Amino acid sequence: MDKSFGGKKLTSKEAARLLGVSEASVKRWADGGLLPMEKTAGGHRRFRPEDVALVRRKGRPAVRTPARAAIGQEFASGQEAALLEETFRALLDRREEELSALLVKLYLHGQSVGAIADGLLCAAMRRVGDLWHAGELSVAQEHVATRTATGALRKLQAALDVPSPVRASSALCCSVEGDFHELPLRLAALTLEACGLAVFDLGTSTPFSALSEALERFRPDVVCVSSTVLVGLDRAAREYAEFNRAARRFRATVVLGGAGFADACVRRRLPADLHAGSFRQLEGFVATLAANEA
């Protein structure tokens, strides 16, 4: 594993590289109270990734922001397995602070939210789910892992260096009725926010009829619906048809994602502008929309 991802704190050299300034500047800002720091027993400065991200996002003191990695970029060869194991252990051990520091570090080093979601969080949570189904983990442990991931995502959200859209763009996010899985919904909302959209999260278990009403009220550019499980396909298809007509009337782009929409029969009955198979695919789709509107 790349040593730059080990531990919870950044060195002065690492912080300087991420902020695009000299190490001397970082030390001067730290000593002047402009960049929060801690000191080791040996007197070395250490910085929380969240604090470095906040300084970079606010642009105070003046800093140059490194460009984000290309959408869909994979982790370095041989790195992903070690990072995945670290993520998995942090989830099970309820080490939220350590996990959030890892996610923010990865984001600062150029990984997109979609890459972090697909390559680490979703993969680690699938492993948790598989172990639960096999009876090797309890329901309580699965819930702890989910809460740990959700808490870490809140801190990653605070670190986002959100681009300014060409025009005000907005999105509605929710999961289908009967689906109470929060994590995929949070990841979808965070992915869209990182792409520069103003996101309103309607929450879990939202009927398509309620989503039709929300369309008229909020007039979003994008509607993103998550489904880990989809029950009552016939009823869902009827309600979705009305929602889809409303989306066309208000010129909203519709994205459906998750295992509940993976079956080809379901996709035929619930057509959408995109049936997303990954968060990186969602990123690429939104980037294409933005480019077409520019």
Q: Are residues 196 and 224 in the same domain?
A: yes
Q: Is the CB of residue 224 less than 8 Å from the CB of residue 282?
A: yes
Q: Are residues 175 and 288 in the same domain?
A: yes
Burial class for 118, CB neighbours closer than 10 Å (0-12, 13-18, 19+): buried
At which of 12, 27, 58 does a domain end?
58
Res. 238 pLDDT band, cuts 50 70 90: very high
Q: Are residues 213 and 243 in the same domain?
A: yes
Token pair 């801690």 in the structure block, residue: 38
CATH number of the domain where residue 102 is located:
1.10.1240.10
Res. 62 pLDDT band, cuts 50 70 90: very low
Residue 160, φ and ψ in degrees, nearest 5: -60, 135
Find the mean pLDDT for residues 265-280. Answer: 96
Task: Write the pLDDT tens digit of every residue in 154-181.
Answer: 999 988 876 655 456 899 999 999 999 9
64 domain-assigned: no
Res. 96 pLDDT band, cuts 50 70 90: very high
Query: 223 pLDDT exceeds 80?
Result: yes
Q: Are residues 125 and 46 in the same domain?
A: no
Burial class for 91, CB neighbours closer than 10 Å (0-12, 13-18, 19+): buried
Q: Residue 88: what pLDDT?
A: 96
Q: Residue 114: what pLDDT?
A: 95
Q: Are residues 152 and 104 in the same domain?
A: yes
Strand bridging mode 253-257 / 170-176: unpaired
Q: Which of 108-112, 206-210, 253-257, 290-294 has the lowest average pLDDT?
A: 290-294
Query: 69 pLDDT exceeds 70?
Result: no
Q: Are residues 144 and 175 in the same domain?
A: no
143 domain-assigned: yes
Helix H or strand E segment including 275: strand 274-276
CA dihedral of residues 121, 109, 113, 281 (deg, nearest 10): -100
Q: Which of 171, 181, 120 is nearest to 274 (CA)?
A: 171
Strand bridging mode 222-226 / 170-176: parallel
At which of 133, 159, 185 does a domain end?
159
DSSP 20: T
Paired with 47 in beta bridges are: 10
Q: Are residues 152 and 179 in the same domain?
A: no
Spatial neighbors of 223 by CB under 8 A, at least 6 apart, are 171, 172, 173, 211, 215, 247, 252, 253, 254, 255
Q: Residue 64: what pLDDT?
A: 39
Q: Are residues 140 and 232 in the same domain?
A: no
Task: Write the pLDDT tens digit of every residue in 182-218.
Answer: 999 999 999 999 998 999 999 999 999 999 999 999 9
Q: Residue 71: what pLDDT?
A: 42
Q: Are residues 152 and 182 in the same domain?
A: no
Q: At residue 5, what is the residue type?
A: F
Range of the domain at 154: 80-159
Name the percent of the chain lying above pLDDT 90.
62
Q: Residue 158: what pLDDT?
A: 86
Q: Are residues 94 and 192 in the same domain?
A: no
CATH number of the domain where residue 29 is located:
1.10.1660.10
Average pLDDT score over the chain: 87
Q: Are residues 154 and 92 in the same domain?
A: yes
Helix boundaries (H) for the chain? 12-19, 23-31, 49-58, 80-92, 96-108, 113-116, 123-133, 139-159, 182-194, 208-218, 233-249, 264-269, 279-293
At which of 159, 185, 207 does a domain end?
159
pTM of the model: 0.79
Number of domains present in the structure of the chain:
3
